[in-house]
Each structure stands twice: as structure tokens, then as C-alpha cells.
Amino acid sequence: KAKDLRRVAEPLITRAKQDSVHNRRIAFARLRDDEVVAKLFTELGPRYQDRPGGYLRIIKCGHRAGDNAPMAYVSLVGGAGEAVAE
């Protein structure tokens, strides 16, 4: 399911790089929340303006104890406090 999340989230972030009414309507059709769409276009779009793709990091963290389901952490790349190579 983490890989499926990537297929949904990354195209929305790519559209958020270019703020237009058309892109906002496409994002709203998928997300259905004005606050989330606003955050997508005001924070995430400008944050990844120079990055060509690969906005999510998926880290597998083993299996859940109860039902042995595979688990993973999903995070945005380039967040606050992240090390940057010079």
C-alpha cells in the first residue's frame, strides 16, 4: 500500500509545482479538502520546485506482530532537519 500511495501523491506534488486553477481543480477532485489542497500548493509545490521527482521515501520496517502484515514508513524527502551533502 505504501507503493500505491506513491502513485497517488507524487503526481499531485508535481502538479503543485505550477499553481494554476486547472491544477488546483485536479488536486481537489482527488483530495476533497480545501485546506490540504492549499497546503499542497503553498508549501509542497515551492519546496520541490527544483526536484524532478522522487518526493517520497518508503522505508520497510518489517512485519506487524499480530497478523504478519508488511509495514513501512512513508516520509517526504528533503524535510526539515535532513542532512544535505555539500
CB 46 within 8 A of CB 18: no
**Fold that domain 2-76 belongs to in CATH:** 50s Ribosomal Protein L17; Chain: A, (3.90.1030)
Determine contact, residues 13/45, Cβ cutoff 8 Å.
yes
pTM: 0.84
- Domain-by-domain residue ranges, the chain? 2-76
**Per-residue tens of pLDDT for the chain, all 86 residues:** 899 999 999 999 999 999 999 999 999 999 999 999 999 999 999 999 999 999 999 999 999 999 999 999 999 998 655 544 44
Give the chain as a 3 state SS string.
Answer: CHHHHHHHHHHHHHHHCCCCHHHHHHHHHHHCCHHHHHHHHHHHHHHCCCCCCCCEEEEEEEECCCCCCEEEEEEECCCCCCCCCC
